[in-house]
Amino acid sequence: MKTDAILRRILDLHPNKLIDLSLDRIERLLDDLGRPQDHLPPVIHVAGTNGKGSTIAFMRAVLEAAGSHVHVYTSPHLVHFRERIRLAGKLVSARRLNRALERCEAVNQGLPITYFELTTAAAFLLFSEIKADYLLLEVGLGGRYDATNVIDHPLGSVIAPVDLDHQDFLGDTLFKIATEKAGILKAGSKAVIARQHPDAEAAIEDIALGLGIHAQWAGEHFDGYEQAGRFVFQNDDGLMDLPRPALGGPFQIANATLAIGALLHFGTGVTEEQIAEGMRRVTWPGRMMPIRSGRLFDLLPEGSELWIDGGHNPSGGKVLAEAMLDLDRRLPRPLVMIWATFRNKDARGYIAPFTSLHPKVVTLAMNDDRASYAADDLVAICAERDIPAEAAAGLREALSLAARNGPARFLICGSLHLIGEFLEMNGTIVE
């Protein structure tokens, strides 16, 4: 509760409480804090539209399997803010987090600064205080002007797949968005890039070459694919025969491939055995995550499956629909979706890939300061695709309405905020 009170005060430090991409404010605060960003372990900086978090989860699992102590910074959180910060493998304690936030708040002296900027400064402060072997650092939004982009010499930069999202802030074309994402690339540091749309590839390659970086590209310098229930990684050194990643969904093969390619190119020294163990132990809450118990789970008919996923843009919808199709091929079951999203997201583009799966949908609005789509509006969007849908007043009612379909494959999706609501109400602990 104390953390929540501090965070509410921080929200009031920026006049409009909106995204305001700039480095001036955080650089001022970090200077006043003694530049903690200069006292960090080797940093792997990760940008992109989709797959950033999963790629970091894979890198963390492999590095920890190798015995390394790993700091991690990701966003957003699902239930509690401290999920964003791992110190040498463990979630930051509420007491230590509060102390860092209050110090940053005091040093800032009430000057204008955004929520993400001040909390990122607090994260850097925490990372500088505890020893670790690596820091896995996720970009919040974009790259060039993101608050995390104050690391002068990262060990390496990773750019996950780039797609259309946050066009109001990053630009209305893939080329422009990719240009912003590629702003994390630094001369003298290595880079590993996921497969990209040609427009995004052109933008990233232009910037990399301009900095003298000869990046490693997925599909060109290394690759990965599923074969006979196994995961095969390939580069110039040969093949690795690995277990299929513990994270669900065929799309995770690409994220795991990117993570392995980065760890190898950045010289972390991980072995094939350690990579295999990382594939077995990896976790990433809220992304293609199976739920097998809990207060809300108990509302579903016996014998049901329940999956949750926080992807929220059209490309996220596409890979999730492909994952549902993969499950259906293995074990055919009716699909019932519980769906909510925000008005600044492309709801039509998100739901379109599910049409061929013939789902039934229950829609709802979320409890959040931002504008959520009304449940009835999402019903109307489903009707445009001839997808049967009905509106619910909240998550508990949505699960109850969905349960009337009998045992099925249930999917809660469309927003990480919705997933956070579900996890909290279900009593699922996120660690």
The enclosing domain of 333 has a CATH number of 3.90.190.20
Q: Is residue 431 part of a domain?
A: no
Structure tokens at 326: 């993969």
Q: Among the listed ranges 109-123, 164-178, 346-360, which one has the minimum average pLDDT value?
A: 164-178
Q: Give pLDDT, residue 53.
A: 94
Burial class (CB in 10 A: 0-12, 13-18, 19+), 95: exposed
Mark whether 101 and 205 lie in a shared domain. yes
What angle, rounded to 10 degrees, do the helices at 94-108 and 115-129 form? Answer: 120
Would you tell me the crossing angle of helices 395-403 and 416-426 to the nearest 10 degrees?
A: 80
Same domain, 342 and 368: yes
Long-range pairs for 205-212: beta carbons < 8 A, 24 or more residues apart: 207/179, 207/182, 207/183, 208/182, 211/185, 211/186, 211/187, 212/187, 212/188
Cβ-based neighbour number of residue 104 at 10 Å: 25
**Residue with more model confidence, 211 or 251:** 211
Percent of the chain with pLDDT over 90: 89
User: Are 70 and 89 spatial neighbours (Cβ–Cβ below 8 Å)?
Assistant: yes
Question: By the 8 A CB rule, do 224 and 257 touch?
Answer: yes
CATH code (residue 70) = 3.40.1190.10
Q: What is the pLDDT of residues 13-41, one digit of tens each?
A: 887 766 778 899 999 999 999 999 999 99
Longest CA–CA separation in the chain, Å: 60
Position 1 confidence tier, pLDDT thresholds 50, 70, 90: confident
**pTM for the model:** 0.93
Check whether residue 330 and residue 223 sit in a common domain. no
Q: State the total domains in the chain.
A: 2
pLDDT in tens, 40-58: 999 999 999 989 999 999 9
3-state secondary structure 200-247: HHHHHHHHHHHCCCCCEEECCCEEEEEECCEEEEEECCEEEEEECCCC
List Cβ neighbours of 120 (8 Å cut-off, separation of 6 or more).
26, 73, 140, 147, 148
Q: How far apart are CA 380 and CA 265, in angstroms?
A: 48
Note if the bond before 76 is cis, omega within 30 degrees. Answer: yes
Q: Are residues 384 and 305 in the same domain?
A: yes
d(CA 36, CA 38): 5
Domain-embedded: residue 379 = yes
Polymer length in residues for the chain: 431
Q: Residues near 58 by Cβ (< 8 Å), separated by ≥ 6?
A: 245, 247, 255, 256, 258, 259, 260, 278, 279, 282
Do residue 210 and residue 98 come from a single domain?
A: yes
Domain limit, last residue, from 259, 281, 303: 281
Last residue of a domain, which of 234, 260, 281? 281
Decide if pLDDT at 263 tops 60.
Answer: yes
Same domain? For 322 and 365 the reply is yes
Question: Closest Cα partner for 306 from 335, 332, 283, 331?
Answer: 335
Does 394 lie in the same domain as 312?
yes
b/e 267-302 (16+ beta carbons within 10 angstroms → b): ebebeeebbbbbbeebebbbbbbebeebebbebbee
Q: Which domain holds residue 299?
A: 289-426
Looking at 281, 299, 319, which one is the last position of a domain?
281
- pLDDT in the model for residue 370: 61
CA-CA-CA-CA torsion sign (257, 259, 260, 265): positive
Question: Given this model, what pLDDT does residue 2 score?
Answer: 93
